[in-house]
Every structure is written in structure tokens, then in C-alpha cells.
Amino acid sequence: MAAPLSPVDAGPSADWQATLPAELAEHGTLVHTRPGQALPLTLGGEETVFVVRMATLLFRLTLADNLRQGVTLLYPGDVFRSAFAPPGPGANLVSLTAGEVLRYRYDAFSRLLDTNAGARAYFDMAVARQSARQAIHLAAVGQLDSTQRLVTFLIELATQIGVPASEGRVVFELPLSRGEVAEYLGLNADTLSRIMSRLRNEGLLSQPDRHTVFVKDLTALAALSPASESLMSARRPNMSGPRP
Amino acid sequence: MAAPLSPVDAGPSADWQATLPAELAEHGTLVHTRPGQALPLTLGGEETVFVVRMATLLFRLTLADNLRQGVTLLYPGDVFRSAFAPPGPGANLVSLTAGEVLRYRYDAFSRLLDTNAGARAYFDMAVARQSARQAIHLAAVGQLDSTQRLVTFLIELATQIGVPASEGRVVFELPLSRGEVAEYLGLNADTLSRIMSRLRNEGLLSQPDRHTVFVKDLTALAALSPASESLMSARRPNMSGPRP
């Protein structure tokens, strides 16, 4: 079996780790996550903040039994403050993958930002970037048809955690189960499987195994969703320049 | 004709105006808005920030012709940084009502926050509150049926701009046209009218005129959406205490 593909080797998070301000990196509590692990939104009754070092997280809202919606996926470099979630038991933050996050009490985090302009700018930019991504996700769920929604999701992953292969080709691991993807996109799981088959049959992608997606023609895939262009320009600023 | 109902007289924005840090109030450019006015997201090529003094705004994303999604409604006290929108021509911010907003260049706004802890806390809290509301909106669009979505929207307005009448009753003006409400909720306009009629027939609300909603039993209305509790607890913190 080949070694698991990891974006850390060559992808975005390698760029990102160079940009995390040292003061934030030093003062967080390093939490090793396992897939499916819930990250508590309070710590001793106090608000928390998480900075994603190396993992994919899902912020999810449960409105009632069987009404769960994935709100935002968080990638390396992203931040989550528990006040971003509505108060109450329906909000939770889950690590979808094994990985590492930095955890802070909000008060301590806030003091770090007050004394470090770089950390402040980092936090503000991460929040803005996530807000832009969440807006695109909302527009996709509200306005796009099933195929467009799934393509939007695949383009989001390709942009955020994809590892570039040969020209126009990108590989990434699916951090969500079929049911979780369906929940994130507001689709039913059978519809999802049917569209995925069609994309495979059309030669746009293949799946070496259930969890891996190999996009064979990113441009052709992206052309299937009107949200692709926004998503691809909303990726991390430090990814937009040429790679060294 | 009676004087138009305004939340400024008795409602949330009166509370809010007392909490806007003086430094922010002093340094913004006061913009008087008319209904439908677009607020430019850049100013001489630079990023902008808006603080809503007295108006309802809509942040909207256009993915393609005929695919427009209302992402977030902004109320008095809310803030909008243009980086919250994805880059590109598809994002715009519109004032739905006549009112007042404060406008800043982002650089100047950012310096104000650096030198004023109160302004910083105000901005961070506004961003968190809006993020929580946007998450609920996404869950509503993704998971709720048509009636639940419309009720969620009415509860949001009642919570944010409603003027309390006698016990359990709330009055507010609809800041969006029927078409805009449909777009915000991802519903079709006829479905919307049908549900609105049903809510009127069931005695939950009445409409003294097309733009005014008089909720006759807030508790009974709220019970029709699983998102109501979250929305009502996500309102401005300064509203949660007893009124003087």
C-alpha cells in the first residue's frame, strides 16, 4: 500500500505553517485529534478558540433530531472561536481527521492578539477568509442544483487540501463520509452517489479508493459549478503567489 | 396615516447606540442610505468597513444570472468588512431601508481597533454574533421545510428589529420585498405567499399593510421552527437583560 497522501508534504498547510505567528504557536495547547473527535466549545465554563494546525474540522449545527447541517469546513490555518456558534447545545465542532489543533482560552487568546499585531492580523484575515467561504457554501446550498453543489464541494476540497499532481490534476482525501457530505450539501446520499458515478464515468475524476478523489481535469470539473471561480479566488492569500 | 413604526423609538437600536464606542462613532463617515442603495465594497481601491447605525442591510452573493442568494441580514450595531465577501464581482452589500451607516477605510478602522480595546471588543463580538446568525440561516436553508424557513426568518426579524407591543406581541416592518425574501430563503415566491396566508388565517400574525408584520403570538409562531430558540438566544447581548 502506498503511503497515505498528505497535504503536509507538498500542499497548502506547508505554506501556512510558515505564516502562523510564533506567539500563537507557542502559547496554544497542542491537541492531537482522532477522526470524529468533538472539540469542546467551553473549557471550565470559559469560551475557547482553536487554531487548526493540521486537520480538517467541521462546524455543525443540530436544529432538531435528524436536522443537522454542516456549516463550515475548517482547514489548516483556520481559526474557530466558540462565539461563532449560536449559544445552546446544538452547535458542535468535530475533527474529521487525525491531526493537530492548538487550543486557547478566549481570554488568553484575546490578550495575545492585543500585544501582537501580527497575531491580530492573522486572526482577522482567517475570520474574513472563512466568512467568504461560508457565504459561498450558503449560496451553493440555497441556489445550486445537486450536481453543482457536489462540484462546488469538490472544488473547495481541491483548493484547500488538494495536492497538485501533473498538470491540471489534483488529489485529495475525502474527510467526510458519504452521509456527512450529504448533510453538508443538503442532499440525499443516493443522489450524491449517482452524481459521483456520473463524474467518474465522464472521466473527470477517479477514486483509487473510497476516501481518495483524483481529479483528472480540474478546469473541466470547475466549469460545472458557477461557484468555482469564487472558491478558487477565496483560497488562502499565501497560496496565490508562485510556489518557491 | 400613522407614523411609520421604527425600531429606533423603542427597540433594540436604542439600546445599541448606547454601546457603540465613541471612538468608532466619531471617526466614521456618516452615510445616509436610501432603500436599494448599494454600498461599495472598495473605496479608492481600498477595503472598506461599515458599521450599521440605523438601517437593515443585505449581503448578497450572485453566482450567475438568476442565481442570487441573500447571505446575511445586517442590523443596527452590526459590522461588515469587505473581506467577509469572496473576491470578485458577485458580492454586494445593499441597504434595504433608508437609514444611516458609518463607513471607514479598513486601514483606518484597523488602527482605531489597535488603539481602543473597547472598539476591538465591540468589533470582535459583532463578528461572532453575525457568524452565529449566518450559521443558523445556513442550517435553515439546508435543512428546514418551507414553513419552518419562513418562520425562522420572521423570528429573526422579530428578534432583531421587532418593537414589543402588548404581551407576546411584536411589530416590525419587512425590509425585503417578496422576491428578496424568497431569494434569502431559497424558496419560490408563490410558496412564500401561500404560507404567509396560512399564518394569517391561523391567527399567528396579521399584516396591517404589505410591509408591516404584526406577530400576535410570538411563542406560538416560534414553536413552528426548530431554529427559533437558537435565534432568540443569539440576539444582541445587550438586549438579553431587563429593559430599563
User: How far is A187 from A191, CA to CA, in rounded Å?
Assistant: 7
- How is residue B113 written as a grid cell? 481597533
Domain end (from A105, A139, A173)? A139
Contact: A85, B135; criterion CB under 8 Å? yes
Task: Give the minimum alpha-carbon distance from B44 to chain A in angstroms, rounded to a whole number.
Answer: 20
CB A86 within 8 A of CB B128: no
Domain end (from A85, A109, A139)? A139
Contact: B88, A142; criterion CB under 8 Å? no
pLDDT (0 to 100) of residue A134: 94
Assigned domain for B243 exists: no
Residues A128 and A179 in one domain: no
For A166-215, the pLDDT digits (tens) are 877 999 999 999 999 999 999 999 999 999 999 999 999 999 998 999 99
User: How far is A3 from B34, CA to CA, in rounded Å?
Assistant: 60
Q: What is the CA radius of gyration of chain B?
A: 18
Domain end (from B123, B139, B155)? B139
Residues A127 and A37 in one domain: yes
Residues A113 and A39 in one domain: yes
Assigned domain for B2 exists: no
Residues A151 and A180 in one domain: yes
Residues A11 and A115 in one domain: yes
C-alpha closest to that of A83 among B126, B15, B241: B126
Contact: A143, B63; criterion CB under 8 Å? yes
Assigned domain for A220 exists: yes
Helix boundaries (H) for chain B = 7-10, 12-17, 22-27, 106-115, 117-143, 146-161, 178-185, 189-201, 218-222, 228-233, 237-240
Give the nearest partner residue to B63 out of A71, A185, A227, using CB atoms.
Answer: A227
Q: Is A174 left (phi over 0), alpha (psi -120 to 50) or beta?
A: beta
Give the count of beta carbons closer than 10 Å to the beta carbon of residue A177: 15
Residues B115 and B212 in one domain: no
Assigned domain for B1 exists: no
Residues A75 and A160 in one domain: no
Residues B17 and B130 in one domain: yes
Residues B32 and B117 in one domain: yes
Instruction: For residue B122, give its domain range.
Output: 7-139
All residues of chain B having their beta carbon less than 8 Å from the beta carbon of residue A74 are: none
Assigned domain for B44 exists: yes
Predicted complex ipTM: 0.88
Q: What is the CATH number of the domain that holds B45?
A: 2.60.120.10
Assigned domain for B149 exists: yes
C-alpha closest to that of B153 among B77, B51, B70: B70
Q: What is the CATH number of the domain that holds B225?
A: 1.10.10.10
Task: Give the minimum alpha-carbon distance from A4 to chain B in angstroms, rounded to a whole number.
Answer: 32
Residue A8 pLDDT > 90: no
All residues of chain A having their beta carbon less than 8 Å from the beta carbon of residue B120 are: 114
Contact: B234, A129; criterion CB under 8 Å? no
Please report which confidence band the pLDDT of residue A64 belongs to, taking 50, 70 and 90 as the band edges: confident
B212 φ/ψ angles, rounded to the nearest 5 degrees: -115, 135
Positions of E strands within A57-180: 57-64, 67-74, 79-81, 91-95, 99-105, 163-164, 170-173
Residues A99 and A24 in one domain: yes
Positions of chain B with pLDDT under 50: 1-14, 237-244
Residues B97 and B59 in one domain: yes
All residues of chain B having their beta carbon less than 8 Å from the beta carbon of residue A125 are: 83
Strands B170-173 and B37-39 come out as unpaired
- How is residue A76 written as a grid cell? 489548516
CA distances from A37 to A33, A90, A152, B145, B154 (A): 6, 16, 26, 30, 35
All residues of chain A having their beta carbon less than 8 Å from the beta carbon of residue B110 are: 124
Contact: B64, A226; criterion CB under 8 Å? yes
Contact: B139, A71; criterion CB under 8 Å? yes
Task: Give the minimum alpha-carbon distance from B2 to chain A in angstroms, rounded to a whole number.
Answer: 37
Residues B14 and B123 in one domain: yes
For A69-103, the pLDDT digits (tens) are 999 999 999 999 999 999 888 999 999 999 999 99
How many folded domains does chain A comprise? 2
Task: Give the minimum alpha-carbon distance from B70 to chain A in angstroms, rounded to a whole number.
Answer: 8
Contact: A67, B226; criterion CB under 8 Å? yes
